[in-house]
Chains A and B, each alone.
Chain A
């Protein structure tokens, strides 16, 4: 600490003991204003409120450093040369340390006669350079505060408040160190009686927060050792965060918030140390809250859960809330997949547990699909789950999909899932048959049922492509020719090529019809369908219709 500061502090404590307000302190000093303010205190006035720390410090210096008798070599005063020699010896010293000669101070050392002689000597001396003695050149800095202001320019009340904080911070630091010591002893474990209580832990957390605030007020963010949420948390004391070092020219660098940057630097540290612990789990939750699209964090979270053998159902509960808040996020769904994989061995041998789990999952999926009916990742997960839990022929699963198709017959995701449920059920299908290829293992009654279902839904909205894609998919699976639905398709097409009479209610019907004609080797009929599609009913796909016509 700079000597000036120490002096100022001493001075402050001296007068704070005598008076509650600096105004009176200043007033008592009024008879001794400096001849001139310090170099950087040009605004200082001879008024109590204008008195800055610099001014105060100067006056204290002047008062508290009188030339004491010990300074004066009595042999000089008493020896040859007498007063003149003494004066020449003494005067520079006075001049250097004082800007003024205080007559009463000098009087404490010398008798009136000696004083008179000194002054005479000084005045008469041809060598004593009274006028060129330099004053102290510069007031030393009292430090810079958090806003970049010189503390020396503080008014006394301001300075008082600042000192209050400094003292408080020092006290808190002592308590904090005591806590750390206690906790370290607890960790070493030699003395079992040393226990850090929850209360002490919470106190320390609050204390650090207060310390950080004080530090910030006193010194700003510069040079602060700890500021972030984690750095202030005693739980993370033993972790040295790994800061991200972006190269100077890094492209698309993100200006992270302080909290995110801090959390990530702790994550890097614990991942590097391969730590799996409850605090790591908490950390992942904290980061996911800020950025749910971070695959590294999710995988690390899963690793923690599995390493700590934490309750998977608990994690599902937590995850459901996160998923509902982040509908478009897909890391969530891989995480869920990993959870199921891990949970499966626990329930695999218990049909009731499987049924319960399946029900819970379906409830949740229904809920989230109500928010976002075609969410790709939710549907992908759903098909995975059906496979894992063998829910293909679960009537509730099929019913749930039918409900969704009833709600929106154009929900193609629901149609896709239905196809998967019916035609990829291992019970009813051969493994490895491509989706567009016939499968002899698919029972005929299922094919019939699904054709009827598709037709019924197509009637509701004939231009809905989902129903037609489904119908064609079913036909292909069941090795049924397109001609088997030709009549159905034809019901949506009236008077094709007959000018005014022509009416088409579904381009998909017309397309199917055309391909059916190709199969029956009726190229003229097919040709007409393609022409009408290209010319009128679905012109944007003209190139495609032309290509199909090339095949007819």
Chain B
């Protein structure tokens, strides 16, 4: 260690603390400290002493990677480094097993408080107070986030079937697609969320809500000549549009032909809904290696997942990803999203970790691994071990992202309020960290027309030590559709068996 190394200024950053988590104020911020001794305690605090001893034992099991400052830190202080320091300051006590309200296992990891999260999600599906007005155009997201999270937590969400069907119906437009609410313009993101919510509750009653013919026409009207999709009529074109469209098309088994009204229609019939999508994705890769929302913007974790997901729906990841993306640079950028000591992922270079990237970034790894496992390129060898620190991500999720108060739910980071969005994507990230996916190796010569959706097989990830309790393993989700695999199979089989619309 050179002289350059400076001590963190361990200052209190109460400004970002949430009042709902008073317990986090009680603990000292103890950076390099890994254990707590309590020499003042006398015999009347025997319980406490035992507790502290247990804590000592637990923190001894925590790799110092997660309890100490990174080995290199620049002197120069800027706005970015201040925010980063504050974040490390906030998360370290959580990672060090110092939350007195929380029970840790022998690895210094708390349990997944399932019941609280389930209750939080059920409430989020109920009637929302007026201050949620900003969510008025994204109510379908609440359906997807909550149902998907409940499913991952092992709940049977089919009991919501009728309610989801009714809600979805009220948001569907005759001209195809679903809006953010009744009589709102159809939007790609809300349609995506509705379709996934319907798939999650499953059953004919839910599936039949979708007017597939209108949906197909509407998607055609959003398809752009450059390969991408607008998110709504007159709306922006970005990679979310391409990903959401690909998900909708493949889940609903829609025809790929374009209507003559489509902006991308070609007289000779050479263009279809998927034409140019992969090229569009290619244009979104940036010099950093990551993916931007639209060409020429900054690489961003959420768009990285959209890009890979979109490609993985067009063809086998092993074929299509190396064809359209610089995989080396992509993986370099992706891997750099994981920080220590936090363990979680950031969305962009020099931004802070946020629980939601557990999915957006963490969810890229199964797709990258599927790509590399099939690769014949010596420059892109199949990895012999996990490409990211699963332990780090699991620690960040279980230690920092759970709201341990009775509110429940998961969050961006300590000090932030839990919400449905984070609860869903943090749990999706947990699913990525706890499982590995194998993709059946289909025929080399299979082409786009005959290729079936490749079948993913989810297995618990068992290499190395498991730092979480067995009961805290969440249900695996499909690495592209981000809902449990049986739900994906069921909806696809239902529509495939249908003739015409």
Contact = CB atoms under 8 A, between A and B. Distances in A.
A409 B143 contact: no
B376 interface: no
Q: Is the interface of A mostly helix, strand, loop or mixed?
A: helix
A132 interface: no
A544 B129 contact: no
Nearest to A383: B296
B136 A254 contact: yes
Contact of A302 (B128, B130, B180, B234): B234
Contacts of A245: 170, 182
Nearest to B232: A295
B72 A412 contact: no
Contacts of B232: 295, 299
Interface in A237-275: 242, 244-257, 260, 264, 268, 271-272
A251 B163 contact: yes
Nearest to B143: A251
Contacts, number: 260
Interface stretch (A81-89, A133-141, A459-467): A459-467
B350 A412 contact: yes
Contacts of A295: 137, 180, 184-185, 187, 232, 235
A374 B298 CA distance: 10
Interface in A203-225: none
A299 B74 contact: no
B380 to A, nearest CB: 8
Contacts of A384: 296
Interface stretch (B95-103, B284-292, B426-434): B284-292
Q: Of B2, B65, B74, which is in contact with the most chain A CB atoms at under 10 Å from its CB?
A: B74
Interface string B160-203: 10111011011000000001111111010000000000000000
Contacts of B384: 546-547, 550
A70 B329 CA distance: 110
B103 to A, nearest CB: 26
Contacts of B52: none
Contacts of B351: 374, 412
Interface in A367-393: 373-374, 376, 379-380, 383-384, 387
B28 interface: no
A416 B137 contact: no
Contacts of B349: 412, 465-466, 469
Contact of B80 (A253, A410, A436): A410
A546 B133 CA distance: 48
A550 B137 contact: no
Contacts of B130: 254-257, 260
A268 B285 CA distance: 40
B15 interface: no
B1 interface: yes
B451 interface: no
Interface stretch (B40-48, B307-315, B387-395, B405-413): B387-395
B262 interface: no
Interface in A311-351: 334, 337-338
A462 B74 contact: yes
B335 interface: yes
A507 B340 CA distance: 13
Interface in B297-331: 297-300, 326, 329, 331
B378 interface: yes
B188 to A, nearest CB: 11
A543 B387 CA distance: 4
A247 B383 contact: no
B38 interface: no
B256 to A, nearest CB: 25
Contact of B331 (A255, A374, A547): A547
Contacts of B333: 469
B388 A543 contact: yes
A345 to B, nearest CB: 18
Nearest to B125: A251
B163 to A, nearest CB: 4
A477 interface: yes
A460 B76 contact: yes
Contact of B79 (A251, A408, A466, A536): A408
B340 A539 contact: yes
B73 interface: yes
B343 interface: yes
Interface string B440-455: 0000000000000000
A434 interface: yes
A423 B286 CA distance: 11
A337 B383 contact: no
Interface in A482-513: 494, 503-507, 511
A296 to B, nearest CB: 5
Contact of A411 (B2, B80, B170, B289): B80
Nearest to B140: A252
B286 A416 contact: yes
A68 interface: no
Contacts of B236: 334, 337
A246 B296 contact: no
A489 to B, nearest CB: 14
Interface stretch (A95-103, A193-201, A286-294): A286-294
Interface in A386-440: 387, 407-413, 416-417, 419-420, 423-424, 434-437
Contacts of A476: 287
A232 B412 CA distance: 44
A250 B283 CA distance: 40
A540 interface: yes
Given A255-B130, A543-B385, A299 B299 contact: no
Interface string B246-285: 0000000000000000000000000000000000001101
Nearest to A417: B298
Interface in A513-544: 536-544
A551 interface: yes
A471 B343 CA distance: 26
Contact of B383 (A412, A505, A543): A543
A255 B126 CA distance: 11
B283 to A, nearest CB: 8
B170 A540 contact: no
A296 B185 contact: yes
B294 to A, nearest CB: 6
A118 B181 CA distance: 79
B134 interface: yes
Nearest to A290: B133
A473 interface: yes
Contacts of A256: 130, 133, 136
A544 B331 contact: yes
A338 to B, nearest CB: 7
A254 B299 contact: no
B350 A252 contact: no
A540 B392 contact: yes
A475 to B, nearest CB: 10
Contact of A247 (B132, B146, B160, B166): B166
Given A244-B183, A251-B164, A291 B383 contact: no
Nearest to A435: B287
A271 to B, nearest CB: 8
A420 B389 CA distance: 32
Contacts of B73: 463
Nearest to B146: A252
A246 B170 contact: yes
B138 interface: yes
Nearest to B390: A543
B336 A465 contact: yes
Given A260-B133, A423-B287, 18 more contacts: A247-B170, A250-B170, A251-B163, A252-B126, A294-B137, A376-B297, A376-B300, A380-B294, A410-B81, A416-B286, A416-B299, A435-B286, A473-B288, A504-B72, A539-B340, A540-B65, A540-B339, A544-B388
11 contacts: A252-B125, A254-B139, A293-B135, A376-B300, A380-B292, A409-B78, A413-B348, A461-B81, A537-B72, A544-B332, A547-B383
Q: Which 4 pairs, one residue from A and one from B, show the smallest C-beta to C-beta distance?
A: A473-B287, A410-B80, A252-B142, A540-B340
